Amino acid sequence: MNNFEFYSPAHLVFGKGVENRVGEMLVGKCKKVLLHFGGGSVKRSGLYDRITASLEKAGIAYCVQGGVVPNPRLSLVYEGIDLCKKEGVDLILAVGGGSVIDSAKAIAMGVCYDGDVWDMYQTGKAIEKALPVVTVLTIPAAGSEASGDTVITNEEKQLKYGYGSNHLRPLMSFMNPELFYTLPENQVANGIADMMSHVFERYFTNTTHVELTDRLCEATLKTIMHNAHKVLDNPENYEAWCEIGFAGTVAHNGLVGCGRDQDWGCHNMEHELSAIYDVAHGAGLAVLTPAWMKYVYKDNIPMFVQFATQVMGVEGSFRQPEDIILEGIEKLRMFFLSIGQPATLSEMGIEEKDFELMAKKCTGAAFGAEHPVGGLKKLYWQDVLNIYKLANE
């Protein structure tokens, strides 16, 4: 096991009706919040009214900025920073899914930084502070409600970069699984793929003697897969949504990755897809992950045998480990198809002519300084290209 730090301070408030407690829980923590959200659904559903009523009852002032889109944009972040400075906002309340929360985190650090907030995404420069972020989650997927991570798209430059800091970990997150009932099926499926990928990126490692986190990863993955069809078949299955929602947080609050080298190859490869094509992150991951597994498994046969048997439930002879592994990968691919994910990149509208450019952007080769991505196997741009091609078969 590697040395590690685990720090997940977000106070999770979970269950029916918890959005009505936002105001009371924020008393003494802020004077004026920015209520940050996406489209009109939070208003149509009544969530907006419940939260603003709760803030008003608690005597907390607020101003409002909607309009966050999937693959959240830098231009809106700039507007949010200006608004917060003008209005004297001291806490960002993100109401939405990962995109809204990531956008809120960008604003939270931008308000406390004198330069251009894109600097952090571009250079990875450490921040000293940020405004506190509180979330009310409406889409379980990104795990951003407990993580210190944010991913922003610079639409001018066609770049999608991530950034992480403990200063960006939310102070508090409210999760009412009833809010997930009205999600469109494709968003549910994308969320499931995304949270599974957050575990996979930590699970697949060459670090040995990481037994507890191996088991925790497997527990989380099995729970997600076991409940995925339940929420897709019956969108008002509260108990199944509880499992999916809570698993989404556990998948990305850092716990299941403690003491392990991590991978993040698939996430890096996917970001290139959605930077150019604006496709759903989860769908890209669902297509890329089985292809990545096929490409890399020979580098760590025991890791993939464990995955196939302990996560995917493959039985068979350990004397043909590759058979077990390939069956496990195929079962995962079939699972993704069964929840409605596309089978290939071309099915997502991604054209083969762009593969090479995306591969070169992914590793930095396009910018003259290549840094391979991935942990279990280091991937150079040619590897990434091969995986994109495998993901198109």
What residue ranges bind a copy of itself (CB under 8 A)?
1-9, 11-18, 208-209, 211-212, 215-216, 218-220, 222-223, 226-227, 239, 242-243, 246-247, 250, 255, 258-259
Q: Which is nearer to a copy of itself, 241 or 380 (CB)?
A: 241
CB of 35 to a copy of itself, least distance (A): 22
N-term to C-term CA, the chain: 37
> Smallest gap, in angstroms, from Cβ of residue 361 to a copy of itself?
35
Residue type, 358: M
Nearer to a copy of itself, 242 or 312 (CB): 242
Shortest Cβ 8–a copy of itself spacing (Å): 7
Distances (CA, A) of 4 to 204, 219, 258, 386: 17, 21, 6, 33
**56 vs 239 by CB, closer to a copy of itself:** 239
Q: How many whole angstroms separate alpha carbon 343 and alpha carbon 34?
A: 40
What is each CA distance from 341 to 283, 337, 348, in whole angstroms?
6, 5, 10
For a copy of itself, the closer CB: 53 or 258: 258
Residue 153 CB, nearest approach to a copy of itself (Å): 31
Spatial distance between the Cα atoms of 381 and 384, rounded to a whole number of angstroms: 5
Please tell me the distance from the alpha carbon of residue 279 to that of residue 275, in angstroms, as a whole number: 8
| Least distance in angstroms from the C-beta of 312 to a copy of itself | 15
Q: Which is nearer to a copy of itself, 117 or 311 (CB)?
A: 311
Pairing of strands 91-96, 61-65: unpaired
Tell me the torsion sign for CA atoms 102, 107, 109, 113.
positive
Torsion (CA) 23, 102, 345, 348 in degrees, nearest 10: 50
Cβ-contact 340, 189 below 8 angstroms: yes
Closest contact distance (angstroms) between CB of 359 and a copy of itself is 36
Beta bridge partners of 94: 36, 135
Q: Which is nearer to a copy of itself, 218 or 263 (CB)?
A: 218
CA-nearest of 50, 372, 346, 335 to 197 is: 335
How far apart are CB 69 and a copy of itself at their closest, in Å?
A: 30
In the complex with a copy of itself, the residue whose CB is nearer, 232 or 357, is: 232
Nearer to a copy of itself by Cβ, of 183 and 242: the residue is 242
Q: Which two tokens stand for residue 106?
A: 């960008």
**Residue count of the chain:** 393
Amino acid at 197: S
